Amino acid sequence: MSMRELVVLGTASQAPTRQRNHNGYVLRWDDEVILFDPGEGSQRQLLHTTVTATDLTRICVTHFHGDHCLGLPGTIQRLSLDRVPHPVAVHFPAGGAEYFARLRHATSFYETAELAVTPIETDGQRIALRCGTLEARRLRHPIETYGYRLVEPDGCRMLPEKLAAYGIAGPAVGELIRVGHLDLDGRRVTRDEVSVPRPGQRFAFVMDTGLCDGVYALAEHADLLVIESTFLESEAALAAEVGHLTAAQAARVATESGVRTLVLTHFSQRYPDPGRFFDEARAHFDGDLVIAEDLTTVQVPPRRVASAG
Protein backbone atom coordinates (compact mmCIF):
# COMPACT_ATOMS: atom_id res chain seq x y z
CA MET A 1 0.00 0.00 0.00
CA SER A 2 1.19 3.47 -0.78
CA MET A 3 1.79 5.81 2.14
CA ARG A 4 -0.44 8.79 2.75
CA GLU A 5 0.27 10.73 5.91
CA LEU A 6 0.87 14.18 7.35
CA VAL A 7 4.08 14.86 9.26
CA VAL A 8 3.81 17.93 11.47
CA LEU A 9 7.04 19.92 11.77
CA GLY A 10 5.72 22.85 13.78
CA THR A 11 2.44 24.29 15.00
CA ALA A 12 3.02 27.86 16.23
CA SER A 13 1.77 30.98 14.49
CA GLN A 14 3.68 34.28 14.46
CA ALA A 15 6.18 33.47 17.25
CA PRO A 16 7.48 30.03 18.21
CA THR A 17 7.16 28.92 21.83
CA ARG A 18 9.17 26.49 23.99
CA GLN A 19 6.76 23.74 22.96
CA ARG A 20 5.96 24.78 19.41
CA ASN A 21 8.21 25.46 16.42
CA HIS A 22 7.05 27.88 13.74
CA ASN A 23 4.60 25.96 11.63
CA GLY A 24 5.60 23.59 8.82
CA TYR A 25 4.10 20.37 7.42
CA VAL A 26 5.02 17.50 5.12
CA LEU A 27 2.45 15.47 3.23
CA ARG A 28 3.52 12.06 2.00
CA TRP A 29 1.13 11.00 -0.73
CA ASP A 30 2.28 8.13 -2.95
CA ASP A 31 5.20 9.44 -5.00
CA GLU A 32 4.75 13.04 -3.80
CA VAL A 33 6.40 14.41 -0.64
CA ILE A 34 5.13 17.97 -0.30
CA LEU A 35 6.49 20.52 2.16
CA PHE A 36 3.89 23.12 3.10
CA ASP A 37 4.69 26.51 4.62
CA PRO A 38 8.15 25.94 6.07
CA GLY A 39 8.54 28.36 8.98
CA GLU A 40 11.81 29.08 10.78
CA GLY A 41 13.55 25.92 11.96
CA SER A 42 11.87 23.60 9.46
CA GLN A 43 15.19 22.19 8.25
CA ARG A 44 16.09 21.08 11.77
CA GLN A 45 12.57 19.81 12.54
CA LEU A 46 12.90 17.53 9.50
CA LEU A 47 15.86 15.86 11.21
CA HIS A 48 13.52 14.71 13.98
CA THR A 49 11.28 12.94 11.45
CA THR A 50 11.84 10.20 8.88
CA VAL A 51 11.57 12.72 6.03
CA THR A 52 14.82 13.89 4.41
CA ALA A 53 15.39 16.88 2.16
CA THR A 54 16.05 14.43 -0.66
CA ASP A 55 12.55 12.98 -0.21
CA LEU A 56 10.92 16.33 -1.02
CA THR A 57 9.30 16.59 -4.44
CA ARG A 58 7.35 19.84 -4.00
CA ILE A 59 7.11 22.94 -1.81
CA CYS A 60 3.83 24.86 -1.44
CA VAL A 61 3.74 28.27 0.26
CA THR A 62 0.38 29.84 1.14
CA HIS A 63 1.69 33.37 1.69
CA PHE A 64 4.76 35.38 2.59
CA HIS A 65 4.32 36.10 6.27
CA GLY A 66 7.45 34.95 8.09
CA ASP A 67 5.94 32.04 10.01
CA HIS A 68 5.04 30.43 6.66
CA CYS A 69 8.25 30.94 4.71
CA LEU A 70 11.30 31.84 6.82
CA GLY A 71 12.31 28.17 6.59
CA LEU A 72 12.70 28.45 2.81
CA PRO A 73 16.33 29.68 2.74
CA GLY A 74 17.64 26.81 4.88
CA THR A 75 15.49 24.18 3.22
CA ILE A 76 16.36 25.31 -0.32
CA GLN A 77 20.08 25.45 0.47
CA ARG A 78 19.83 22.00 2.01
CA LEU A 79 18.49 20.63 -1.30
CA SER A 80 21.72 21.72 -2.95
CA LEU A 81 23.93 20.62 -0.05
CA ASP A 82 22.42 17.14 -0.29
CA ARG A 83 22.66 17.19 -4.10
CA VAL A 84 19.02 16.31 -4.51
CA PRO A 85 18.99 14.75 -7.98
CA HIS A 86 15.38 15.46 -9.00
CA PRO A 87 13.76 18.85 -9.69
CA VAL A 88 11.68 20.13 -6.77
CA ALA A 89 8.48 21.93 -7.78
CA VAL A 90 7.68 25.17 -5.92
CA HIS A 91 4.36 27.04 -5.73
CA PHE A 92 3.56 30.36 -4.03
CA PRO A 93 1.33 33.39 -4.65
CA ALA A 94 2.62 35.13 -7.78
CA GLY A 95 2.35 38.52 -6.09
CA GLY A 96 5.04 37.40 -3.64
CA ALA A 97 7.60 36.50 -6.31
CA GLU A 98 9.97 39.19 -5.05
CA TYR A 99 9.90 37.72 -1.52
CA PHE A 100 10.52 34.27 -2.95
CA ALA A 101 13.47 35.50 -4.99
CA ARG A 102 15.02 37.04 -1.86
CA LEU A 103 14.43 33.97 0.31
CA ARG A 104 15.76 31.66 -2.38
CA HIS A 105 18.99 33.59 -2.62
CA ALA A 106 19.12 35.00 0.91
CA THR A 107 22.81 34.10 1.25
CA SER A 108 25.60 32.78 -0.90
CA PHE A 109 25.61 29.03 -1.49
CA TYR A 110 26.70 26.55 -4.13
CA GLU A 111 23.50 25.93 -6.01
CA THR A 112 23.08 22.50 -7.59
CA ALA A 113 19.46 21.61 -6.93
CA GLU A 114 16.89 22.40 -9.60
CA LEU A 115 13.71 24.20 -8.58
CA ALA A 116 10.74 24.03 -10.96
CA VAL A 117 8.92 27.21 -10.01
CA THR A 118 5.24 27.63 -10.91
CA PRO A 119 3.70 30.60 -9.09
CA ILE A 120 -0.05 30.62 -8.42
CA GLU A 121 -1.54 33.33 -10.62
CA THR A 122 -5.27 32.73 -10.34
CA ASP A 123 -7.94 31.46 -7.98
CA GLY A 124 -8.67 27.85 -8.91
CA GLN A 125 -5.32 27.24 -10.66
CA ARG A 126 -4.73 23.52 -11.10
CA ILE A 127 -1.53 21.57 -11.39
CA ALA A 128 -1.69 18.01 -12.70
CA LEU A 129 0.24 15.47 -10.64
CA ARG A 130 0.57 11.75 -11.25
CA CYS A 131 -1.51 11.06 -8.16
CA GLY A 132 -4.25 13.62 -8.85
CA THR A 133 -4.76 17.36 -9.12
CA LEU A 134 -3.28 20.05 -6.91
CA GLU A 135 -5.62 23.04 -6.79
CA ALA A 136 -5.04 26.48 -5.25
CA ARG A 137 -7.87 28.68 -3.93
CA ARG A 138 -7.67 32.30 -2.87
CA LEU A 139 -8.06 32.92 0.86
CA ARG A 140 -8.87 36.06 2.83
CA HIS A 141 -5.84 37.52 4.60
CA PRO A 142 -4.14 40.95 4.55
CA ILE A 143 -1.71 39.76 1.86
CA GLU A 144 -2.22 37.48 -1.17
CA THR A 145 -2.81 33.99 0.20
CA TYR A 146 -3.75 30.67 -1.40
CA GLY A 147 -4.76 27.40 0.23
CA TYR A 148 -4.21 24.09 -1.54
CA ARG A 149 -5.99 20.83 -1.98
CA LEU A 150 -4.97 17.55 -3.53
CA VAL A 151 -7.78 15.67 -5.25
CA GLU A 152 -7.44 12.09 -6.42
CA PRO A 153 -9.99 11.19 -9.11
CA ASP A 154 -12.51 8.46 -8.43
CA GLY A 155 -11.44 5.15 -9.89
CA CYS A 156 -12.34 1.51 -9.73
CA ARG A 157 -10.84 -1.59 -8.17
CA MET A 158 -10.87 -4.69 -10.35
CA LEU A 159 -12.10 -7.88 -8.69
CA PRO A 160 -9.68 -10.73 -9.51
CA GLU A 161 -12.24 -13.48 -8.90
CA LYS A 162 -14.70 -11.90 -11.36
CA LEU A 163 -11.98 -11.37 -13.96
CA ALA A 164 -10.99 -15.01 -13.55
CA ALA A 165 -14.59 -16.15 -13.93
CA TYR A 166 -14.71 -14.49 -17.37
CA GLY A 167 -11.20 -15.66 -18.21
CA ILE A 168 -9.96 -12.08 -18.55
CA ALA A 169 -6.22 -11.74 -17.93
CA GLY A 170 -3.09 -9.92 -19.07
CA PRO A 171 -3.42 -7.02 -21.54
CA ALA A 172 -7.20 -7.58 -21.80
CA VAL A 173 -7.56 -6.20 -18.26
CA GLY A 174 -5.91 -2.94 -19.30
CA GLU A 175 -8.15 -2.71 -22.35
CA LEU A 176 -11.25 -3.31 -20.23
CA ILE A 177 -10.24 -0.52 -17.82
CA ARG A 178 -9.44 1.86 -20.68
CA VAL A 179 -12.37 1.15 -22.99
CA GLY A 180 -14.96 0.27 -20.35
CA HIS A 181 -16.03 -3.01 -21.95
CA LEU A 182 -14.70 -6.10 -23.66
CA ASP A 183 -16.39 -8.34 -26.23
CA LEU A 184 -15.81 -12.01 -25.47
CA ASP A 185 -17.28 -14.74 -27.68
CA GLY A 186 -20.28 -12.64 -28.57
CA ARG A 187 -20.89 -11.44 -25.02
CA ARG A 188 -20.04 -7.96 -23.80
CA VAL A 189 -18.43 -7.70 -20.33
CA THR A 190 -18.50 -4.20 -18.86
CA ARG A 191 -15.99 -2.75 -16.42
CA ASP A 192 -18.72 -2.32 -13.81
CA GLU A 193 -19.44 -6.06 -13.83
CA VAL A 194 -15.91 -6.93 -12.73
CA SER A 195 -14.98 -4.00 -10.47
CA VAL A 196 -16.16 -1.88 -7.58
CA PRO A 197 -15.90 1.92 -7.40
CA ARG A 198 -12.84 3.28 -5.60
CA PRO A 199 -13.58 6.78 -4.28
CA GLY A 200 -10.68 9.20 -4.72
CA GLN A 201 -9.13 10.74 -1.61
CA ARG A 202 -8.73 14.43 -0.81
CA PHE A 203 -6.28 16.40 1.30
CA ALA A 204 -6.79 20.10 2.03
CA PHE A 205 -4.45 22.69 3.51
CA VAL A 206 -6.04 25.93 4.69
CA MET A 207 -3.79 28.48 6.35
CA ASP A 208 -4.15 32.10 7.34
CA THR A 209 -7.62 33.25 6.40
CA GLY A 210 -10.90 34.64 7.55
CA LEU A 211 -13.99 32.67 6.59
CA CYS A 212 -14.52 32.89 2.81
CA ASP A 213 -15.66 30.79 -0.16
CA GLY A 214 -12.12 29.52 -0.71
CA VAL A 215 -12.11 27.85 2.71
CA TYR A 216 -15.22 25.84 1.86
CA ALA A 217 -14.05 25.05 -1.67
CA LEU A 218 -10.85 23.56 -0.28
CA ALA A 219 -12.43 21.68 2.63
CA GLU A 220 -15.20 20.04 0.60
CA HIS A 221 -15.25 16.31 1.36
CA ALA A 222 -11.62 16.31 2.50
CA ASP A 223 -10.49 13.03 4.01
CA LEU A 224 -7.85 15.03 5.87
CA LEU A 225 -8.15 18.78 6.45
CA VAL A 226 -5.29 20.76 7.98
CA ILE A 227 -6.64 24.15 8.94
CA GLU A 228 -5.46 27.09 10.98
CA SER A 229 -7.20 27.88 14.24
CA THR A 230 -5.08 30.71 15.50
CA PHE A 231 -7.69 31.87 17.99
CA LEU A 232 -10.52 30.74 20.26
CA GLU A 233 -14.04 32.15 20.09
CA SER A 234 -13.24 34.49 22.99
CA GLU A 235 -11.08 36.39 20.46
CA ALA A 236 -13.48 36.03 17.51
CA ALA A 237 -13.61 39.77 16.81
CA LEU A 238 -9.83 40.01 16.74
CA ALA A 239 -9.63 36.92 14.52
CA ALA A 240 -12.00 38.45 11.98
CA GLU A 241 -10.10 41.74 12.05
CA VAL A 242 -6.70 40.18 11.30
CA GLY A 243 -7.88 37.48 8.86
CA HIS A 244 -7.77 34.35 10.97
CA LEU A 245 -10.08 31.55 12.12
CA THR A 246 -11.18 30.37 15.54
CA ALA A 247 -11.28 26.72 16.54
CA ALA A 248 -15.09 26.82 16.48
CA GLN A 249 -15.17 28.30 12.97
CA ALA A 250 -12.68 25.73 11.66
CA ALA A 251 -14.69 22.91 13.23
CA ARG A 252 -17.95 24.16 11.75
CA VAL A 253 -16.33 24.36 8.31
CA ALA A 254 -15.24 20.74 8.73
CA THR A 255 -18.71 19.58 9.69
CA GLU A 256 -20.45 21.51 6.91
CA SER A 257 -17.91 20.22 4.37
CA GLY A 258 -18.07 16.53 5.28
CA VAL A 259 -14.46 16.38 6.49
CA ARG A 260 -13.36 13.07 8.04
CA THR A 261 -10.13 13.87 9.91
CA LEU A 262 -9.68 17.45 11.13
CA VAL A 263 -6.24 18.73 12.14
CA LEU A 264 -6.17 22.11 13.89
CA THR A 265 -2.88 24.00 14.04
CA HIS A 266 -1.15 27.42 13.80
CA PHE A 267 -1.94 28.36 17.38
CA SER A 268 -1.42 31.78 18.88
CA GLN A 269 1.18 31.81 21.62
CA ARG A 270 -1.41 33.42 23.92
CA TYR A 271 -2.98 30.01 24.68
CA PRO A 272 -0.69 27.68 26.62
CA ASP A 273 -3.35 24.96 27.01
CA PRO A 274 -4.09 23.06 23.76
CA GLY A 275 -7.01 21.35 25.47
CA ARG A 276 -9.05 24.50 25.02
CA PHE A 277 -8.82 24.16 21.22
CA PHE A 278 -9.98 20.55 21.47
CA ASP A 279 -12.93 21.36 23.71
CA GLU A 280 -14.06 24.27 21.56
CA ALA A 281 -13.77 22.33 18.29
CA ARG A 282 -15.37 19.18 19.71
CA ALA A 283 -18.58 21.07 20.35
CA HIS A 284 -18.92 21.62 16.57
CA PHE A 285 -17.30 18.56 14.97
CA ASP A 286 -17.67 14.91 15.92
CA GLY A 287 -15.26 13.26 13.45
CA ASP A 288 -11.59 12.48 14.08
CA LEU A 289 -10.13 15.58 15.70
CA VAL A 290 -6.40 16.22 16.13
CA ILE A 291 -4.90 19.22 17.91
CA ALA A 292 -1.55 19.21 16.15
CA GLU A 293 1.66 18.89 18.16
CA ASP A 294 5.16 19.27 16.73
CA LEU A 295 6.70 16.14 15.25
CA THR A 296 3.57 14.02 15.22
CA THR A 297 2.21 12.07 12.29
CA VAL A 298 -1.43 11.91 11.22
CA GLN A 299 -2.56 9.16 8.85
CA VAL A 300 -4.89 9.92 5.99
CA PRO A 301 -7.92 7.78 6.95
CA PRO A 302 -8.69 4.65 4.90
CA ARG A 303 -10.70 5.23 1.75
CA ARG A 304 -14.38 5.90 2.09
CA VAL A 305 -16.44 2.82 1.36
CA ALA A 306 -17.97 3.16 -2.10
CA SER A 307 -21.72 3.41 -2.19
CA ALA A 308 -23.41 0.32 -3.60
CA GLY A 309 -23.83 0.20 -7.35
* Contact residues: Zn ion, CB under 5 A: 65, 208
Nearer to Zn ion, 53 or 232 (CB): 232
3-state secondary structure of 219: helix
SS3 211: coil
Q: CB of 276: closest distance to Zn ion in angstroms?
A: 22
Please indicate if the annotation marks 48 as binding a ligand.
Answer: no
Axis crossing angle, helix 275-282 with helix 247-257, rounded to the nearest 10: 40
Q: With the C-alpha atoms ordered 135, 288, 246, 38, is the resulting torsion angle positive or negative?
A: negative
Q: Is position 65 annotated in a ligand binding site?
A: yes
- SS3 breakdown of the chain: % helix, strand, coil, rounded to 5? 30, 30, 40
The residue type at 191: R
Contacts of 153 (CB under 8 A, 6+ apart): 132, 133, 200
By beta-carbon proximity to Zn ion, the closer residue of 13 and 125 is 13
What b/e string do you get for 152-189 counting C-beta neighbours within 10 Å, with b at 16 or more? beeeeeeeeeebeebebeeeeeeebeeeeebeeeeeeb
Active-site residue 154, yes or no?
no
The H or E element containing residue 157 is strand 155-158
Question: Shortest distance, CB of residue 65 to Zn ion, whole angstroms?
Answer: 3
Rounded CA separation 149/219 (Å): 8
* Residue 244 marked in a binding site: no
**Smallest gap from residue 114 Cβ to Zn ion (A):** 29
Q: Give the nearer residue to Zn ion in terms of CB position, either 208 or 223.
A: 208
Compute the least distance from the CB of residue 146 to Zn ion, in Å.
Answer: 12
Least distance from Zn ion to the Cβ atom of residue 257, Å: 22
Binding site annotation covers 67?
yes
Rounded Cα distance between 120 and 117, Å, is 10
Amino acid identity of residue 309, one-letter, is: G
Q: Is 223 annotated as a binding residue?
A: no
Instruction: Kindly name the residue from 30, 31, 55, 67 that is annotated as catalytic.
Output: 67
Tell me: is residue 22 an annotated ligand-binding position: no
CB nearer to Zn ion: pick between 242 and 295? 242
**E strand residue ranges, 165-301:** 181-184, 187-190, 195-198, 202-206, 224-228, 261-265, 288-291, 297-299
Rounded least distance, CB 141 to Zn ion, Å: 6
Q: Please say which residue, 152 or 208, places its beta carbon nearer to Zn ion.
A: 208
By beta-carbon proximity to Zn ion, the closer residue of 40 and 208 is 208
- CA nearest to 14, candidates 274, 271, 269: 269
Annotated ligand binding at 63? The verdict is yes
DSSP state of 114: P
CA distance 115 to 59: 10
Residue numbers belonging to the annotated binding site? 63, 65, 67-68, 141, 208, 266
Annotation: binding site for Zn(2+): 63, 65, 67-68, 141, 208, 266
Question: Which are the catalytic amino acids?
Answer: 67
